Structure 1
């Protein structure tokens, strides 16, 4: 271990993951607590008994709201990882160079510090080469299912309150409500990607790896 590395604290080396994971946990707890109160307020208006917090965590209201957000985030990241392989945007810090070769396009070569999959080669290496996008796609599909499942449970809870028969999951999938929930989240994620791709052409943030150097020309593509 180098002397400089040995003097670095654990937080210094892992600050981004620690902060964002902590923010995720805190906001998920806040969502659960506020969603529980909101759901019980709605139940009170419908003149039905409130539910406990532990029961709420198993309810369609909580499951749907949680995985609806996960779904759109993982879809955004999957498409971003895949589309940036081939697509370019002149001047954007988020784009690969228009004509210069990139390190990420080089064929992997085994060496002492290479990941195990690179040293193994064969189909394991092929799988590893696309593991990032495959993981995001899998997480999107799992989140999409649980969003559907939670939204369906919540829909049938409302049907029971209104003395209406339950719908099957297939019937519910054909209704507009689930897709409205999905599209309103998807479009916001696509807007956020388009914003950072376009804004990094003309705007800068000193010290951020998501920005070009402050003195870089607007039409410089990549960081």
Structure 2
């Protein structure tokens, strides 16, 4: 240890990411396995050929189901990052103060340990200053495109099984099926964000950075 600094383990320093990525991989595998079995049963009921697991992972059924969820999560995060810049909610731990300048609003300084784009300045700094929102927006658009592709492919598999002609992706976009899948995920994400914004006004979780201090007044805005 130098200068009195504690030496933490790798897991202690990165535990939140490790745990959530581990949960993601476990549940993604469970989704793939159960989705594969469910899809093969559906194919068998319609006199279709069953798929190997590796083939299923490239199927529209798996791609659509996976990126349908990714899409709504990235949309949620993109809007949350962008809207919390200018919008407020009195009393919420998820809101900036109503009338005080906050650390996140200060102009970046070209100090020694600042990220490279900050020290570079110019358009690089401008881009980096909005990089979190840009990242989530791009991830949303990619996920939306893959959800559309997967849902379209899965739709055409069903069309073939029912001895009907396949539809183009443009034709599929005019059908309610894809948009039903889309909106049922979006609305749940908007509700979850609204819930944490509102409930942090009145409820507490000691030790969580998503909560105000336990003894904070209900109408005290921010953490």
- State TM-score, norm by structure 1: 0.98
In the alignment, structure 1 residue 148 sits paired with structure 2 residue 148: yes
Offset at 1:48? Answer: 1.6
CA distance in 1, matches of 2:220, 2:38: 49
User: Aligned residue for 2:55?
Assistant: 55
**Structure 2: gaps (5+ residues):** none
In the alignment, structure 1 residue 22 sits paired with structure 2 residue 22: yes
Aligned-pair RMSD on alpha carbons? 0.8
Offset at 1:3? Answer: 4.2
CA distance in 1, matches of 2:104, 2:43: 53
**Structure 1: gaps (5+ residues):** none
Q: Tell me, what secondary structure is at the counterpart of 2:218?
A: coil
CA distance in 1, matches of 2:48, 2:179: 28
Q: 1:119-138 alignment to 2 at 5 Å?
A: 119-138=119-138
CA distance in 1, matches of 2:28, 2:3: 38
CA distance in 2, matches of 1:2, 1:125: 32
CA distance in 2, matches of 1:37, 1:162: 20
In the alignment, structure 1 residue 5 sits paired with structure 2 residue 37: no
Offset at 1:181? Answer: 0.2
User: Aligned residue for 1:108?
Assistant: 108
Offset at 1:211? Answer: 0.1
CA distance in 2, matches of 1:2, 1:171: 66
CA distance in 2, matches of 1:30, 1:23: 10
Q: 1:1-223 alignment to 2 at 5 Å?
A: 1-6=2-7, 8-223=8-223
Q: How many residues align?
A: 222
- State TM-score, norm by structure 2: 0.98
- Report the CA distance shift for 1:161/1:211 in structure 2 as closer, same or farther (over 3 A): same
Deviations 1:96-144 (A, max 9, x none): 0000101111110110111011000000000000000000000000000
Q: Tell me, what secondary structure is at the counterpart of 2:164?
A: coil
- Report the CA distance shift for 1:42/1:106 in structure 2 as closer, same or farther (over 3 A): same
CA distance in 1, matches of 2:184, 2:6: 45
CA distance in 2, matches of 1:103, 1:97: 11
Q: Tell me, what secondary structure is at the counterpart of 1:5?
A: coil
CA distance in 2, matches of 1:14, 1:73: 22
